Amino acid sequence: MPILFLGHGSPMNAIEENEFVKGFRKIGAGIPRPDAILCISAHWETRGTFVTSMEKPETIHDFGGFPRELYEVEYPAPGSPEMAREVMEIVTKTKIEPDYQWGLDHGAWSVIKHLYPDASVPVVQMSLDYTKPAEYHYRLAKELSPLRKKGVLIIGSGNMIHNLRLAAWDKLYDNFAYDWAIDADTRMKKFMQEENHQELIDYTAQGEPFRLAIPTPEHYLPLLYILALKEKQESINLFNDKTVAGSLSMTSLKI
């Protein structure tokens, strides 16, 4: 299976019709239909690493201040306790625990619903251990590689650049980026194309533009999961490659 990093942006992308939603749909139509999905979302941070292990994960509306229509969205994709067990078995560098409480947060369902609107593909989420450094997440991701050969679509959902405190909300629908965001975006893509993953792992050493682009790591780490799974002969294809509101990158990639 290919692997995807999806810049999920605002939860409103779940119900709006825009260029980013069209990009998600186009990607979904162009890849093989998976037997299951493993999603690493920016919006599930835990102490330790967990996988959702229930048969019917609930749709979590983990946001505030949006229209009622958004809270009424349900994405009733089944879970896969079998795949959750497999994840727990193939990862040996750390202990993965089952979770029966979380469900699917908006980092998962707001984008997966555009790939598979019939909600028929089982979805399992894996959490981000907020106590661990980037190198830990990158190495953990590599252990997930066997799933690709078993019909599992692995998705990282976050944003390469995500600084809501500096967002220019009056330019949300403009292709506008601050100078520091352009700098960080250019260098991130350069490192990716050069297979220079270590510089991306060491993002805190990349200076002020990266500090502003990644004020907290949770939206950036899902990118490292996907890059870690890239094999040498595979190419990176960018889509939805745009920065909005000055400080929010919607850039997504398929490997």
Residue with tokens 């330019």: 171
Q: What is the pLDDT of residue 172?
A: 76
DSSP string, 34-96: PSEEEEEEEEEEESSEEEE--SS--B-----S--HHHHT--------HHHHHHHHHH--SS-E
Contact 227, 164 (CB under 8 A): no
Summarize the chain as % helix, strand, coil (round to 5).
40, 20, 40
CA distance 62 to 235: 34
CA distance 78 to 75: 9
The Cβ-side half-sphere exposure at 220, using a 13 Å CA radius, reads 23
- What are the start-end ranges of the H helices in 91-220? 106-115, 134-142, 179-193, 197-201, 208-213
Q: What is the pLDDT of residue 80?
A: 98
Specify the DSSP element, H or E, that contains 29.
helix 19-29
pLDDT in tens, the chain (255 residues): 999 999 999 999 999 999 999 999 999 999 999 999 999 999 999 999 999 999 999 999 999 899 999 999 999 999 999 999 999 999 998 999 999 999 999 999 999 999 999 999 999 999 999 999 999 999 999 999 999 999 999 999 999 999 999 999 888 777 889 999 999 999 999 999 999 999 999 999 999 999 999 999 999 999 999 999 999 999 999 999 999 999 999 999 999
Q: What is the pLDDT of residue 175?
A: 81
User: What distance, in Å, lies between the first and last C-alpha atoms of the chain?
Assistant: 9
Contact 96, 50 (CB under 8 A): yes
Nearest of 153, 128, 124 to residue 224 by alpha carbon? 128
Class of the CATH-defined domain 3-254: alpha beta
Q: What is the pLDDT of residue 11?
A: 92
